[in-house]
A = this chain, B = another copy of it.
């Protein structure tokens, strides 16, 4: 199973519009530090899944027919905004697996175009090609699923964003399934350095505590905000073995 981080940024990304903080200046000067809307691309043999649709150029990056399905964590604009344009494709259907959120985002349900939304139920696995996705409820300001993703060789990857902590049943499920990899929301720096704790996202320490409890072989912090990047530049924090901060376009082979 191959995971590509398409975007690793919090809402607004890095650089934030009009910001001249250390992290945003660095990203303006060097594209390697840019963080686009949080999303990923999962490949397993012929199965190719786009996980969240916040990239503004989604329609250019993924031509029709180049992927099996789109899977959504939730309907906040930074996770679905790429669909507003892509949906107006002229033929075919794009399956979009999503949480059971009756509101969706703007007029996506009213005018789905080529999108075929398929709401899923928590903890009920669904299949896309060779991959089994199990929706895991997260704790966020809108109905949100993380996903446990498993291939036929038993390689398991969990994608857990956006969330502030984890519900007990989700945590238990992740602890019961030994994970080869896990990506988790770590939007903010530790709270001593934050103006205020973000209500709907993990901060750095929360993310590390969850990794400690779940014990995946490898873990990545993602959905990173510019304040966290600035804090990392300032403090150069040491991460536990196997844990890294995700960056855009990184390709991870899990086996």
**A-to-B contact residues, CB < 8 Å:** 11-13, 16-19, 21, 37, 56-57, 59, 63-65, 76-78, 81, 84-92, 105-107, 113-114, 226
Contacts and interface: CB of A to CB of B under 8 A. Distances in A.
B92 A18 contact: yes
What's the dominant secondary structure at chain A's contact region?
loop
A19 B56 contact: no
A13 B105 CA distance: 21
Contacts of A18: 63-65, 89-92, 114
B19 A85 contact: no
Contacts of A84: 77-78, 81
Contacts of A89: 12, 16-19
A57 B88 CA distance: 19
Nearest to A106: B106
Contacts of A12: 85, 87-89, 113
A83 B172 CA distance: 39
B81 A85 contact: yes
Nearest to A91: B18
B65 A85 contact: no
Identify the interface centre among A17, A57, A86, A226: most chain B CB within 10 Å of its CB: A17
Contacts of A76: 107
Contacts of A13: 85, 88
A19 B171 CA distance: 44
Given A12-B89, A12-B113, A13-B85, 4 more contacts: A16-B89, A17-B59, A18-B65, A56-B85
A57 B56 CA distance: 8
A207 to B, nearest CB: 21
A107 B11 contact: no
A87 B81 CA distance: 13
B65 A77 contact: no
A86 B56 contact: no
